[in-house]
């Protein structure tokens, strides 16, 4: 992901202590004098375990790109096992550009996590850095593998992201994988999210679709349109 002069890349098979592969993420900053990207910091989870796949998804908001809470990054680990095998999690890092290796400010898991939910497979943060969407395309609320996405908003008092709403498409079916990809943009309380469901079958087996949701100003997310 890219935000102004910062770039983050995930390495979900990174191996700091062979043969274990918990994963990592690397942040680079653009040097305006040389127009080259220079590594600034390596992000790791404090409780990383083999095959967590930390770094499978990454997103960031740079303070120089109008982030309201400084530099903030979120890294997904969809095979973390806190809520059962491959239930998944995501890690938040804030103002992390101090060099060396940095560990997280917050670990997020779904309130209703269960095995194989794959929470954290895709993550996206708003330009202001105050809202995050974390996918769970293995969620089974509507049917096996129908999928879901979770919205979290920054609490300026407690300095953490707080759960706001669980989003599901109105016509989910088994194995749609709603949440395989997520993206969010827009100003605070009026954000727009697009959530992919690559195995949706409207136009044939696994033809795919994407759903648009909008925050209505009262921090309620409303379905707006289905794209095929």
Cβ count near 217 (within 10 Å): 9
pLDDT, tens digit (0-9, with 9 covering 90-100), for 12-62: 999 887 778 899 999 999 999 999 999 999 999 989 888 999 999 999 999
Strand pairing report for 36-43 and 101-102: parallel
pTM above 0.85, yes or no: yes
CA–CA gap between residue 194 and residue 71 (Å, rounded):
23
Contact (Cβ atoms closer than 8 angstroms) between residue 8 and residue 1:
yes
- Geometric angle at alpha carbon 186, from 220 and 208, rounded to 5°: 75
Per-residue model confidence as pLDDT tens digits over 139-185: 999 899 999 999 999 999 999 999 999 999 999 999 999 999 999 99
**Other residues' Cβ atoms within 10 Å of the Cβ of residue 152:** 22
81 SS3 class: coil
DSSP 96-151: --SSSEE--SEEE--TT--TT--EEEEEEE-TTSSEEEEEETT--SSSTT-BEEEE
Using DSSP bridges, classify how beta strands 6-11 and 24-31 pair: parallel, antiparallel or unpaired: antiparallel
What is the distance between the alpha carbons of residues 126 and 156, in angstroms, rounded to a whole number?
Answer: 15
- Cβ–Cβ < 8 Å for 14, 67: no
> Which residues are within 8 A (CB) of 122 and not within 5 positions of it... i.e. 6 or more apart?
57, 76, 134, 135, 137, 179, 180, 181, 182
């Amino acid at each position: 992901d890219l935000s102004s002069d910062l770039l983050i890349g995930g390495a979900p098979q990174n191996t700091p202590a062979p043969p274990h592969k918990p994963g990592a993420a690397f942040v680079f900053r653009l040097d305006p004098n040389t127009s080259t990207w220079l590594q600034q910091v390596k992000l790791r989870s404090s409780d990383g375990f083999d095959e967590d796949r930390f770094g499978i998804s990454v997103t960031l908001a740079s303070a120089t790109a109008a982030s309201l809470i400084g530099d903030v990054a979120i890294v997904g680990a969809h095979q973390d096992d806190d809520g059962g095998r491959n239930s998944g999690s995501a890690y938040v890092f804030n103002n992390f550009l101090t060099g060396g290796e940095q560990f997280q400010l917050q670990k997020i898991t779904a309130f209703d996590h269960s095995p194989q939910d794959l929470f954290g497979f895709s993550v996206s943060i708003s330009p202001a850095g105050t809202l995050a969407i974390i996918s769970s395309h293995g969620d089974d609320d509507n049917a096996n593998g129908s999928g879901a996405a979770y919205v979290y908003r920054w609490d300026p008092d407690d300095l953490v992201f707080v759960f706001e709403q669980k989003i599901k498409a109105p016509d989910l079916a088994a194995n749609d994988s709603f949440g395989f990809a997520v993206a969010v943009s827009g100003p605070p309380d009026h954000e727009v999210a697009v959530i992919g469901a690559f195995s949706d079958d409207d136009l044939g087996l696994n033809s795919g679709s994407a759903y648009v949701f909008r925050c209505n100003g009262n921090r309620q997310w409303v379905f707006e349109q289905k794209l095929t």
